[in-house]
Amino acid sequence: MQETRWAQVWMTSGLLWFLLAIAVAPTNKLYQQGLVALLWLPAMVFSWPARARIRELLYEQRWVYLPMLGLLVWSLISLSWTSDEVPSREVKRLLYIGVFLLFFPVFANARPDRIIRIMQWGGIGLALTALVATVKF
């Protein structure tokens, strides 16, 4: 399902939004809402159809993902002694980070060149926004 054209366009726009909108979005709230709609939502929607690929990736690269899982568990444990009045906000941030990391194997689907190409286009876009900002200000 994540290999369909519309799903690829949705996830590509999410990755480009993540890279470029930080420079051009007028507010942080708009940027965050765009991340939810364009990056986190497709990661969650398409993670179930891509579960076999995710399982395969976790097995192949377990020495990368096991330390990340350890950091996630440690982050959850360290929330027990936080002085934040709303610890659920921090749990939500950890969930967002996890979904963000889940986005990449779902989007790549064993083709990392896809992500590299979008990141390159995002780098060109950021360079152009930096140039415009330099000239404008």
Spacing of C-alpha 117 from chain mean position = 16
pLDDT digits (tens, 9 = 90+) for 66-85: 999 999 999 889 888 878 77
Six-digit token string for 95 = 């969930």
Q: 109 phi and psi, to 5 degrees?
A: 50, 55
Is the distance from CB of 50 to CB of 106 less than 8 angstroms? yes
Residue with tokens 């990391």, as numbered in its chain:
101
Residue with tokens 């790549």, as numbered in its chain:
108
**What Cα–Cα distance (Å) separates residue 20 from each residue in 4, 60, 62, 78?**
24, 31, 31, 32
pLDDT digits (tens, 9 = 90+) for 77-116: 988 887 877 778 888 888 999 999 999 999 988 789 999 9
Range of the domain at 36: 5-136
Question: What does DSSP assign to residue 70?
Answer: H
Residue with tokens 């959850």, as numbered in its chain:
76
pLDDT digits (tens, 9 = 90+) for 19-46: 999 998 889 999 999 999 999 999 999 9
pLDDT tier at 5 (50, 70, 90 boundaries)?
confident
Q: Domain total for the chain?
A: 1
pTM exceeds 0.85 for this model: no
Q: Is 109 left (phi over 0), alpha (psi -120 to 50) or beta?
A: left
pLDDT at position 71: 93
